[in-house]
Amino acid sequence: MTKILIIEDEQPAGQYLTQLIQKIDPKTEILNVLESVETAVEWLSNNPVPDLIFLDVQLGDGTCFQIFEQISIGCPVIFTTAHDEYAMRAFKLNSIDYLLKPIRQEALQFSLEKYYQLNEENAISKVKYLEELMHNQILNRKSPRRSFLVPYRDKLIPLKDSDFAWLTIKNGVVVATLHDDKSFVVDKSLEELENQLDTTNFFRANRQFIISRECISEIELYFNGRLLVRTAPSSSNQILISKERVPVFKKWFEELS
């Protein structure tokens, strides 16, 4: 029986993946469905290593990279992601596989068959290579990016990172709103910008928003333990911090202020 751990921050997605895995292979055992970096690190530190992990790239309190920073996974991994980023090519080469959300049954079945076809030695070898890759990426992180060129009509407008109030996704593209309330399309994904911007000044609030410290004007307690962040200039869409992300947000805001 294959023992599987699912790390997925969206409960419906976790339930759907559980049902799909057990539909494809009823002999599998789902050990747990975890929703955050913190709970994943704690669980993996205090339980036997599972046979296989399904790992969401973007979690409630950070990214899966932060798990690799803190512990050794020690078993094969299949990544899941809502973003078809070029960086995922490395995961496809060095992990067992990766699945693009929404996950289709035939794609999941292919990934499981790929896992079953690997002998244990090859699977663990891939995991060690992946962990080494993650470690090298952590050590080789570049300094925060300070300057950007953004397209505007027939020009390229030079901007500094300090010009950004917040960045969000609109109609499939990333739009940066400046402190003077002007907006520009940025030809990068939020994931790329999250990795490039200075984490002292910028915070990934959720899947749709990256906010700067300077734009935060008010923070309200919201339903189900979440926080509502109000900004200046204001956003037409609510900027919510999930319950799982609240401790991380508070620590970021208080310790780095």
**Structure tokens belonging to residue 151:** 């397209």
The answer for residues whose C-beta is within 8 angstroms of residue 45's C-beta and 6 or more apart is: 71
Encode pLDDT of 148-181 as tens digits: 999 988 999 999 999 999 999 998 899 999 999 9
Residue type, 246: V
Over residues 77-86, mean pLDDT? 71
Nearby residues of 205 by Cβ (< 8 Å), 6 or more positions away: 211, 229, 239, 240, 241, 245, 249
CA distance 131 to 140: 14
Report the C-alpha gap between 130 and 251 in whole angstroms. Answer: 30
CA distance 157 to 151: 6
Task: Give Cβ neighbours of residue 230 (< 8 Å, ≥ 6 apart).
Answer: 216, 217, 218, 219, 220, 239
Q: For 37-67, how does the pLDDT look when each residue is reduced to its tens digit (9 = 90+)?
A: 889 999 998 999 999 999 988 887 878 878 8
**Average pLDDT for 186-190:** 90
pLDDT confidence of 254, banded at 50, 70, 90? confident
